[in-house]
Copies of this chain bind each other. A is one copy, B any other.
Amino acid sequence: MAGRVEALSIVDALALELRRRVFAGELTHEDALTEAEVSRAYEVARPTAKAAIEKLVGEGLLQRSAHKTARVPHLGPEDVRDIYRTRAHLESVVLRALAETRTAPAAAAAANAEIAAMTEADPLTVVEPDMRFHTALVDALGSPRTSRMFSSLVSEVRLCMVQVQGKQLLTTASIAAEHQQILDAVLAGDGEAAVEAITRHLGRARERLVAALGGSPGPEATLPEPA
Q: Which A residues are within 8 Å of any B CB, using their own CB?
A: 7, 9, 47, 51, 54-55, 58, 66, 82-83, 85-86, 89-90, 92-93, 142-146, 149, 152-153, 156, 223-224
Contacts and interface: CB of A to CB of B under 8 A. Distances in A.
Nearest to A223: B142
Contact of A89 (B66, B85, B146, B152): B146
A156 B223 CA distance: 29
Nearest 3 A/B pairs, CB to CB: A58-B58, A86-B145, A89-B93
A142 to B, nearest CB: 5
A153 B146 CA distance: 10
A86 B142 contact: no
Contacts of A86: 143, 145-146, 149
Contacts of A144: 82, 224
A210 to B, nearest CB: 16
A55 B47 CA distance: 15
Given A89-B93, A145-B153, A145-B156, 9 more contacts: A47-B47, A51-B51, A51-B54, A58-B58, A82-B144, A82-B145, A86-B143, A89-B146, A90-B93
A224 B143 CA distance: 8
A121 to B, nearest CB: 30
A11 B87 CA distance: 33
Contacts of A83: 145
A9 B153 contact: no
A135 B223 CA distance: 19
A67 to B, nearest CB: 9
- Which of A90, A92, A156 counts the most B-chain CB atoms under 10 A from its CB? A90
B142 A224 contact: yes
- Which of A86, A146, A153 counts the most B-chain CB atoms under 10 A from its CB? A86
B149 A85 contact: no
A66 B143 contact: no
7 contacts: A47-B47, A82-B144, A86-B143, A86-B146, A92-B93, A142-B223, A145-B153
A7 to B, nearest CB: 7
Contacts of A55: 58
A58 B55 CA distance: 8
